[in-house]
Structure 1
Amino acid sequence: MQWNKLGLVYGPDGSSPWAVSHAMIPTPIVLDDNTIRVFVTFCDEHFIGRPGYVDVDAQDPTRVLRVSPLPLLDVGAKGTFDDNGVLCCSVVRLDDGRFFMYYAGFELGVKIRYKLFTGVAVSDDGGESFHRVRQTPILDRTETEMAFRGGPFARREGDRFRLWYASGSDWEEIDGKQMPVYVLKYLESKDGVEWGGEGRLALDITGDDEHGFGRPWVTTLPDGRYQLFYSIRRRSLRAYRLGYAESDDGSNWTRMDEAMGLDVTPGQFDSDAIMYAAVITVHGRTYCFYNGNEFGRDGFAVAELVQR
């Protein structure tokens, strides 16, 4: 694939106390013929994240139309799994017009740095606000997923919901810092809330350099094949790069990372890292929204596919 980078779209100016910095994990949906709504997570001065949105022009996704004035969902109550941050990772439109937001709840640890488990919130007003379906995670810890069941990407197909997520228990020291180790797993659900037990492996880390994957993003090609966009964390780089895989069924993936074609640019906001690819097609044009250095410190960007 070949992409034309169109540049940064939006980053907060620091004037709002809940959105001082960052616009992390861009999560676009086509709101209507004229609008792409990009859900993102903004950070306050303590680096605690809350979701908001940036509406952009469907014909020109670098043109910002509107920014959410308030958080769409606040952090959880003290002691809950999301009391130190809510990271929106995917949004699914339901048949009745409501939206499900799947998010990673950020909880600080004592003997480990943090834990990430998955929650779901629902919007009854077209994505202007959300409320929790429940206070506890929909993906909680299992015997082999003790610290991470986060980074969820959900989509609806017929009478089932499908979910790909980051999973793991382990930490390892890299350059004197404890870093998480996680793979991608897969689950199905009838209602999008109850997912059963542990998922099955969807994508494993390979070699000695990889140690984790960021939020996956799944879409389909015109011939029905599935595309998986994900972020790869490597020890040697100490930052994310983008990966790509294809599948006939959305379950068994063939890695084709070299085909991604979207990488860092020296001297730019994405000079050291590039991550959280989210790909959508609107009005016959395909766009990839993504973050750069320091998990989207400067905001989120967009690129247009020029050749597959």
Structure 2
Amino acid sequence: MIWKKLGLVYVANGEKDWAISHAYIPTSMMLDEERIRVYVAFLDSHKVGRIGFVDLEARNPLQILKVSDQPVLDIGQAGTFDDNGVTPICLLKYQERLYLYYVGWQLGVKVRYFLLMGLAISEDNGESFQRYSQVPILERSDRELFVRTAAHVHLENDQWKMWYIAGSKWIDVNGKQVPSYNMRYLESINRTDWEKQGAICLDLANEDEYGFGRPFVLKENGLYKMWYSIRSISKSYRLGYAESQDGKTWLRKDQQVGIDVSDSGWDSQMISMACIQKTKYGTYMFYNGNNYGETGFGVAILQ
């Protein structure tokens, strides 16, 4: 596959005190055939993220129609798993409600932070979201101690499938402590109750890699396709691609992802957090560029 980059779409420019910078982890949905809504985390002056949205023309996704005035999901109360930031990851519609799976950020003392999975629900077509629970739907467990998050959730034949990242180790990368984690898989009979440990479905390829980010899964013609972000020591974030017949065992085909960093500009150092959106005008990929979304999110179209 080949993705043609269309350009940078949006980055917060300080016009709101809760949205000083960034537009992190684009998570899209169709409002109708002509409008795309992209949820992102905007950061305040303390680098704490809150979820807002950017509405775009489907015909021309560089054309901005609206930017949210207020967060659709704010941070949690002090002491909860998401009191230092919320980040969108996966959005799906079920029984006339929107279910937003999101990352909750909580600071640590002896480790830098914890990342756990939350769920919020909208009954007004995504104008606002309310927490399903004050605690994460993926809580820490004995073998997934610090990172249990970034889930892509998929409903198929009355069974809920989840691909997510998890890990129990911190490592030193160029003098900075970072978590190390891989991709796991879980199933559930509903969308809220999940087991304490998933099966590893996609593992690190070498010592240079130390983590994956944000899986995005589609099923086309009986084949599961996953886009994900590869975190490595030598290259920072790059996008990867894998395929699976059953959703459990994946074959990495990173060389077929069809998109990489640019020679210069907002996505010249890093490219990550892909979200695929099909429209009648083509299939778009929304993604982040340099410095973990600090330069905003852009869009490419499948050729």
TM-score normalised according to structure 2 size: 0.98
The answer for the alignment partner of 1:15 in structure 2 is 15
CA distance in 2, matches of 1:218, 1:240: 19
1:288 aligns with 2:246: no
1:115 aligns with 2:114: yes
The answer for the alignment partner of 2:188 in structure 1 is 189
Q: Secondary structure at the match of 2:62?
A: coil
TM-score normalised according to structure 1 size: 0.96
Q: CA deviation at 1:109?
A: 0.5
The answer for the alignment partner of 1:201 in structure 2 is 200
Structure 1 residue runs without a partner (length 5+)? none
The answer for the alignment partner of 2:243 in structure 1 is 246
Q: Secondary structure at the match of 1:215?
A: strand
Q: % of aligned pairs identical?
A: 47
Q: CA deviation at 1:235?
A: 1.1
> Which one-letter code corresponds to 2:285 in the other structure?
C
Q: CA deviation at 1:191?
A: 2.1
Structure 2 residue runs without a partner (length 5+)? none
Q: Secondary structure at the match of 1:241?
A: strand
> Which one-letter code corresponds to 1:164 in the other structure?
W
> Which one-letter code corresponds to 1:229 in the other structure?
W
1:86 aligns with 2:83: no
Query: Deviations along 1:151-209, whole A, 9 cap, x unmatched?
Result: 11112223122111110010111111111100011112222111122111111111111
Q: Secondary structure at the match of 1:214?
A: strand
CA distance in 1, matches of 2:39, 2:63: 15
Conserved? CA contact 1:289–1:301, under 8 Å: yes
The answer for the alignment partner of 1:164 in structure 2 is 163
Please identify, of 75-84 and 151-160, the stretch whose mean Cα deviation from structure 2 is larger: 151-160
RMSD: 1.0
1:105 aligns with 2:104: yes
Conserved? CA contact 1:92–1:156, under 8 Å: no
Query: Deviations along 1:92-150, whole A, 9 cap, x unmatched?
Result: 1112x111110110000000010000010100111000010110010011111000001
CA distance in 2, matches of 1:55, 1:157: 28
CA distance in 2, matches of 1:214, 1:168: 12
Q: CA deviation at 1:284?
A: 5.4
> Which one-letter code corresponds to 2:166 in the other structure?
S
Aligned residues: 303
CA distance in 2, matches of 1:70, 1:158: 37
CA distance in 1, matches of 2:157, 2:39: 24
Show structure 1 runs of 4+ deviating over 6 A: none
